[in-house]
Structure 1
Amino acid sequence: MDEKIRGRRRSVRIERRRRRRTLAFLVVLLLCAVGLFLWLRSSDVFAVKRITATGAERVSTGQIAEVTSGVVGDSLLSLSTGAIEEALLALPYVQSVSVHRCFPNTLEIELVEYEPVARVGGEGGEIWLVSDSGRVLEGTDATQFPDLPLLVPDSSFFVSAGAQVPAAVAETLPLAVLLQVEEIRAQLPVLARIAVSAAGSAVVVLEGGGELRLGDPAGLEQKLEVAVDIVQQCLAEGRQIEYIDASVADRVAVKAK
């Protein structure tokens, strides 16, 4: 047999043995890695001993501790961060949350909270803080948060923290946000409340009884701008406003004396 052919075959056999050894080594390495992972997962090497939270101003440490108490002592490798995030999102003030494993023993929680933009009158005279999305955040009383507009629906409804306000109220919340803009606030008398009908029609009631009737939620910003301009005219002329009906922005009715 030609020496070159024998040499080539010998090289092939050596290469095959080398590949088999490499493959066997990789399989053993993989099995060791899986075994190590399973051992670490069931051991207390990476057990949760410390939980930190950032971004929590209105969410209390007690609320966070209650949600996460079940994972203290669990391995960071075995716990579900998704389940913890879901539980935290059920807290009324939590808008978004991220939970991160920080080895060897820490669970890090990053919160983004809702901001209250208005107060809403509920059943039995209760007053609730709500976010711009309509989420009910917590109960309050008439003396707190006086700078937030008070929305008063014409029909009572049951409210609880974490729930959503009725659609008619939620659609009026952009008006509450607009009325907190300093440029607009400075041009209006003191606000008493925002009356909201079951159909979502909004009336801004001024202190003293004057009304800005803005109608349905469509085009609220434009209708408010028109009403504010007329308020300024009436104030400059020394007239007291009974009502400004700007529910149709290009057909405004005014009664003032």
Structure 2
Amino acid sequence: MDSRIADRRRVVKEEAARKRLRWTIGVLVVAGLVGAVVWAVQSPLLDLDEITISGDSRASVEQRLMDAGVASGMPLLSVDAGGIVMALESDPWILQAEARVVWPNALDIVVVEHLPRVWVKGSAGWMLVSERGYVVATSATGGTALPRIELADLSEVPLGQRLDSTAVLGAIEFVAALDAEVSFDGTEESLFAWVDGLRVRLGRPIDMSAKAASLRALLDHGVPPGSTIDLLSAVRPAVVPPVVEVDDSTDPEAEVEGEG
């Protein structure tokens, strides 16, 4: 065989061997990198070791995290921040939630809770309603620390849902602007309040902050006990003094004649 042909065959074989070696080394390197990443992700170095929660006082944050499958020791890469937010905001007490993964091993949770404002009488019990009108709790009897609202034909609203009542929302606005003990009754179109023992006719639940300001000015000036306050218009409040009953059992003329 010609030596040149033999040399050519040897060169071709060596080149093919080098290509196979480079491919094998490349596969091993990639496999090593993948293995290192998997090991790092699954290793205790990148586990969820610390969960920080802030802003909660009434919400069941820990229970919601358990329901979302979040637990200490789980791989941090498997923590779904979006899913955690959805789970937290399903709690009726939570208005807004934020979840942030902090590498290498922490999770920060921040929640903003609803602020309860009034107890509202429903068809089957009492609903605790937040300043934005959301039902955050229910009770058979309701509490006494917050204002109470009893309206005709008001239906129950499930926990976490917004109460679609202009009268209730108006009452909440009124309460927020008035620093006094108050309770409400009436209908959607005609709202009444008891404030410091005085009957207040509020009418339609509009301009409630302005009506509260007018009432506060009247109370500061002084209102006779037993009076009724008309606040159909915030700019034209009226005070109706209590009716004084006259005792007709005594005849003034007879008393004069007897004295003579």
Q: TM-score, normalised by structure 1?
A: 0.68
Deviation at 1:202, TM superposition (A): 2.8
CA 1:112 to 1:233, structure 2 compared with 1: closer, same or farther past 3 Å?
A: closer
For residue 192 of structure 2, the aligned residue among 200, 203, 211 is 203
Mapping of residues 18-167 of structure 1, within 5 Å: 37=37, 40-41=40-41, 45-60=45-60, 62-70=62-70, 74-124=74-124, 126-140=125-139, 142=141, 144=143, 146-167=144-165
Q: How many residues end up aligned between the 2 structures?
A: 213
Counterpart for residue 5 of structure 1: none
CA 1:69 to 1:223, structure 2 compared with 1: closer, same or farther past 3 Å?
A: same
Counterpart for residue 240 of structure 2: 255
Sequence identity percentage: 24
Counterpart amino acid of residue 165 in structure 1: L
- Distance across 2 between alignment mates of 1:245 and 1:30: 82
Unaligned runs of 5+ in 2: 1-28, 243-260
- Alpha carbons 1:152, 1:194 under 8 Å: kept: yes
Unaligned runs of 5+ in 1: 1-28
Q: For structure 1, which segment, 215-224 or 92-101, has the greater mean C-alpha deviation from structure 2 after superposition? A: 215-224
- Alpha carbons 2:214, 2:234 under 8 Å: kept: yes
Q: TM-score, normalised by structure 2?
A: 0.67
CA 1:103 to 1:255, structure 2 compared with 1: closer, same or farther past 3 Å?
A: same
- Distance across 2 between alignment mates of 1:160 and 1:37: 47
Deviation at 1:157, TM superposition (A): 0.8
CA 1:213 to 1:31, structure 2 compared with 1: closer, same or farther past 3 Å?
A: farther
Counterpart amino acid of residue 203 in structure 2: G
